[in-house]
Amino acid sequence: MTGIVWWSVVGLAMAALSPSALRWLTRRGADAGMLLMAWAVLVCLTVFAVALPGLAELIHRCWLALHTGPPGGLDTAVGVISGGLIGFAAVSGGWRLASTGRYRRRLHARHAELAWVLHGGAPRGDGVLWLPTSEQHAYSLAGDPPLVVLSTGVRECLDDAAVRAVVAHERAHLQRRHHLLIAVAHAVAAGLWWLPLTRQSPALVRTLVELDADAHAARVHGNRPLRRALLRLQDAHAPAAALGVAGDCVHLRLQRLSGRHRPRATRFSGPAAGGTAMLLATTAVIVVAVLTTALASCTAV
């Protein structure tokens, strides 16, 4: 078995074991922003582990065949499987990402129309879109401009400090590009569903982005207002493309907020959480660039 295949085996083993490690670190109170960056690095390494045999096979056949002879049978078989898996992942993941984007844009457009009806103007990115309903709604929606949406029912059941904590939580989602991270997590899960890390990525990333937003809101407004809001808004609902204050892992979040100290949020949390999208995009660009170059060389030969 060649070194490239061994590298792929090690990478796939890491993808199988890493979800348990990330969940353990989450329960131990590790900084959510750092864990989001670790998740992004692991996903990038997993993509490379799957793509490496196929890329190596293309490079060998197109660039090195004239000098080193044709690759071995095992390398060819693994390379074909790798190419097929990456092709399927690109199509499935791209389709899921595009579908999510289309739904989010339609949802954002409906909220913009609602803002014109309710307030006679376009929504503002630095404000709050208040819905005149007694039902409890508190969520954020990415777009241009990004929106924080609350209902008057939330304002009626919470004190002013808790409302400010909720708004800070939702703004943290927007500032740290959490909506994009969740969309990417669903895309890699659709494309590489057979790997534990990518299959569990949507639930894992949802937990981490909620903890990261909690840490930001608690650092500014304290634990208690946010904890009161979570206890009162556990049944609040949000659209599928939005992130609500009462999202996933409420029990874990309440546990973190019940301590004396505020949830840890290092000064690197924001850049780490926001930078994961760039890291994942860079990986995709590198894989596509190498694949395109190899295919062009094959055509030239």
Tell me what pLDDT residue 269 has.
47
> Closest Cα partner for 135 from 151, 158, 147, 156?
151
> Residue ranges of the alpha helices (H) in 28-157?
32-59, 65-68, 73-119, 152-157
Tell me what pLDDT residue 159 has.
94
Tell me what pLDDT residue 253 has.
92
**pLDDT tens by residue, the chain, 301 residues:** 466 777 778 888 888 999 999 999 998 888 898 898 889 888 888 888 888 777 676 666 665 544 455 555 655 666 677 778 878 888 898 899 899 999 999 999 999 999 999 888 888 888 899 999 999 999 999 998 999 999 999 999 999 999 999 999 999 999 988 998 999 999 999 989 999 999 999 999 999 999 999 999 999 999 999 999 999 998 888 888 899 888 668 889 998 888 655 555 555 444 544 555 555 555 555 655 555 555 555 554 4
Range of the domain at 63: 3-300
Neighbouring C-alpha atoms within 13 Å toward the C-beta of 151: 16
Distance CA 216, CA 66 (A): 58
Beta-carbon contacts of residue 189 (< 8 Å; ≥ 6 apart): 198, 199, 200, 201, 202
Tell me what pLDDT residue 111 has.
93
Secondary structure of the chain: what % helix, strand, coil (to 5)? Answer: 75, 5, 20
pTM confidence score:
0.83
Tell me what pLDDT residue 296 has.
52
Tell me what pLDDT residue 273 has.
47
Structure tokens at 99: 């579908």
Q: How many domains does the chain have?
A: 1
pLDDT in tens, 119-137: 888 888 888 999 999 999 9
Cβ-count burial 233-267 (b if 16+ within 10 Å, e if not)? beebebbebbbbbbbbbeeebeebbeeeebbbbee
Neighbouring C-alpha atoms within 13 Å toward the C-beta of 268: 9
Alpha-carbon distances of 220 from 149, 164, 257, 262, 296, rounded to whole Å: 20, 10, 13, 10, 53
Tell me what pLDDT residue 237 has.
82
CB count within 10 Å of CB 301 equals 10
Q: How many helices and strands in the chain, by DSSP H and E?
A: 12, 4
Q: Helix, strand, or coil here: 243?
A: strand
Q: Which residues pair with 131 in a beta bridge?
A: 151
